[in-house]
Amino acid sequence: MTQRRSGTPAERGVAGSRGAAVLAARAAADKQAEDVVILDVHELIVITDHFVICTGGSDRQIKTIVEEIEKSLREHLDVKPVRREGEGEARWILLDYVDVVIHVFAEEARDYYDLERLWADAPRVEWEGDGVVASAGSLD
């Protein structure tokens, strides 16, 4: 069983996990991640609230994006991932923060796994503006 620290996104509920997802998305964008998307999956699955999905152009950029996301969440929310996967080849690195799961893909891996299509019923979360608002509708 995973221990959660006081004040983690999980203890703040979906709104807190949404904030953590936005922080992760902004950190990824700061390192020039492409096609950064947040999906609100909390009504579709019970294991997490949000997916953050993005693409890096090279193995080194993928690792840099992951490092920036970890740094941002550690500095702003005092959280670390409970699990990291995929670091060996850096084609798809997953950071599991329990209520937020971050997927940093190489382009080919993102196209192959196509998580946006798999979770097409999940609304996207707007994260680039000043507000953080879940938007419903198609993922096209």
Question: Which strand (E) or helix (H) includes residue 101?
Answer: strand 100-106
pLDDT digits (tens, 9 = 90+) for 61-120: 999 999 999 999 999 999 999 999 997 777 999 999 999 999 999 999 999 999 999 999
134 belongs to a structural domain: no
3-class secondary structure, 59:
helix
Across the range 2-28, mean pLDDT stands at 69
Contact 54, 105 (CB under 8 A): yes
pLDDT digits (tens, 9 = 90+) for 23-73: 999 999 999 999 999 999 999 999 999 999 999 999 999 999 999 999 999
47 belongs to a structural domain: yes
Our separate counts of H helices and E strands in the chain read 4, 7
- For residue 40, which amino acid is it? D
Residue 100: which CATH number?
3.30.460.10
- Structural domain range at position 111: 12-127
Which residue is listed with tokens 């949404």? 18
